[in-house]
Structure 1
Amino acid sequence: MITVRRNNERGHADHGWLDSHHTFSFANYYDPKHMGFRSLRVINEDRVAPGRGFGAHPHQDMEILSYVRSGKLAHKDSMGQEEVLGPNEIQKMSAGTGVFHSEYNGSQTDPVHFFQIWIEPKQRGIKPSYEQLKFDESEKQNRFKVLASPTPVAGAATINQDAKVSVAVLDPATKLDYAVDESRHVWLHVVEGDVAVNGQQLQTGDAAAVSNEHVLEIATNGSKSEVLVFDLA
């Protein structure tokens, strides 16, 4: 079964310096029908103006992933991490017992476009931790690149939940299959492009909740496309 959630159904907030789309209820956007999917709680697509950002704020008991599409995202936290994240990198912060962090555009001239993802943890009260991993762009070209996994995977972040996050960039007129275990559920988000997922047409910003499917056939139409896939217990 595939249930489509369209781009224009997402929550939206434009603060001038921040343009944000919320797949699930977040901040001032509240929809009781869209509080998350399985352990996936937040998918925020943010565009932040040059030199602006989010001041220091707390998190607790949440697995937080950041994935940059373009620009630079600067990060600083109470664990002593001070890093800059760019395209083809994945950042994970396990908030655990509690951590403060700030995020801001690392450029004074160019905007940053990134996705922030929250996944509810399997175990609460763990020690906070941080990972940032860079990978070659070719690793996601016409194949799935694992960004995060509950068990160690080379080049991927390890998260405290039975969830796997992957990304793929597909050339035009390309098909890619994603096998789904019968006990699993998938949330697929179209980062950019125009694809058919088991025949369902999806465009930039659209998403699909998937249950009771054995395989997802992802086929691009006339444009290069990028998808994020969340494989969830």
Structure 2
Amino acid sequence: MATTVIQSGERGHWWNEWLDSKQSFPATGNFVLEDHAHGLLLIHNEDVVGPGEGFDTHQHRDTEIITWVLEGTVVHQDSVGNSGLIHPGLAQRMSAGTGILHSERNGAGYAERDKLHVVQMWIPPDAPGAVPSYQELDIAGELRRNVLIPVASGMTKYRGEAAIGIGNSNATFHVARLDAGASITVPDAPYGHVFVARGQVDFEGAGPLNQGDVVRLTADGGHRVTATEAAEVLVWEMTASV
């Protein structure tokens, strides 16, 4: 059993003239992602993207990519015909499978000056070589309930409950938007990852956590998380590792 707190400033930090990226796992450079994963989570990047900027068309293979927008909009386009705007409260997943090309950019133009604040997360699929696919669903209304909502899951126990599916049967991504004083309980699983996307919370056994702080759990779930101010918390529940 282990509970490890990673303060926001301890994360990797990479930036250029239009991107400010804070990375819970090494993601910039020639890294083997599996060597630094926690459970199934390979990438967990909190990015701020300048107006009119973003990632031009690039390729992914055999990766489940979950994008969660905190502020602004992402313009998504891919090689299998999906396009649109991803906004706060919209659950979105892209399964790269045998290969997919896509681009993602700040939906605000250069003259609008609105930043994009987004979290992108990667996990591996159950098996390589699947047909590429895409799914999205607006769940903003569900997030008003002060409870932990299963947003994206491949687990049997969340079938019919999670907003969208993912191609890994051992992982679920949850989100809770909490008013001050509201609490959730972290699922008890072999691996867990808790990220404070905004606000401040008190994590049972670890104390106060601020925006950008992370808790990695190994066989140590069931903790109570209480918002000490309005907060948004992203939680991964995982029953296997890479």
Give the TM-score normalised by the residue count of structure 2: 0.89
CA deviation profile, 1:143-181 (whole Å, cap 9, x unmatched): 011110004434622111110000001111222223414
Indicate conservation of the 8 Å contact 1:25/1:34, yes or no: no
Greater shift after overlay, 15-24 or 129-138?
129-138
Sort the Cα spacing of 1:96 and 1:33 in 2 relative to 1 into closer, same or farther, 3 A.
Answer: closer
1:60 aligns with 61
List gaps (5 residues or longer) in structure 1.
none
- Amino acid across the alignment from 1:220: A
Structure 2 residue 177 is the aligned partner of structure 1 residue 176: no
- Amino acid across the alignment from 1:158: G
1:11 aligns with 12
Structure 2 residue 204 is the aligned partner of structure 1 residue 198: yes
Indicate conservation of the 8 Å contact 2:186/2:235, yes or no: no
After TM superposition, the structure 1 = structure 2 runs for residues 144-223 of structure 1, keeping only pairs within 5 Å, are: 144-151=148-155, 152-154=159-161, 156-161=163-168, 162-181=170-189, 184-201=190-207, 202-221=209-228, 223=229
1:79 aligns with 80
Sort the Cα spacing of 1:199 and 1:67 in 2 relative to 1 into closer, same or farther, 3 A.
Answer: same
What SS does structure 1 have at the residue aligned with 2:223? strand
Identity %: 33
- Amino acid across the alignment from 2:185: D
2:3 aligns with 2
Q: CA deviation at 1:55?
A: 0.4
Sort the Cα spacing of 1:176 and 1:83 in 2 relative to 1 into closer, same or farther, 3 A.
Answer: same
List gaps (5 residues or longer) in structure 2.
none
Indicate conservation of the 8 Å contact 2:149/2:162, yes or no: no
Count of residue pairs brought into register by the alignment? 230
What SS does structure 1 have at the residue aligned with 2:66? strand
Q: Identify the structure with the greater strand proportion.
A: 1
Give the Cα separation in 1 of the matches to 2:98 and 2:34: 29
What SS does structure 1 have at the residue aligned with 2:186? strand
2:133 aligns with 129
Give the Cα separation in 2 of the matches to 1:8 and 1:33: 23
CA deviation profile, 1:174-225 (whole Å, cap 9, x unmatched): 22223414xx21111111122122231221111111123251211122x111
Give the Cα separation in 2 of the matches to 1:160 and 1:36: 18
What SS does structure 1 have at the residue aligned with 2:216? strand
1:102 aligns with 103
- Structure 1 runs, 4 residues or longer, greater than 4 Å off: 29-34
CA deviation profile, 1:89-117 (whole Å, cap 9, x unmatched): 01100000000000001111111111111
Give the Cα separation in 2 of the matches to 1:22 and 1:153: 32
Indicate conservation of the 8 Å contact 2:76/2:103, yes or no: yes
Q: CA deviation at 1:7?
A: 0.6
- Amino acid across the alignment from 1:174: A
Instruction: Note the aligned Cα RMSD (angstroms).
Output: 2.0
Give the TM-score normalised by the residue count of structure 1: 0.92
Indicate conservation of the 8 Å contact 1:140/1:167, yes or no: no
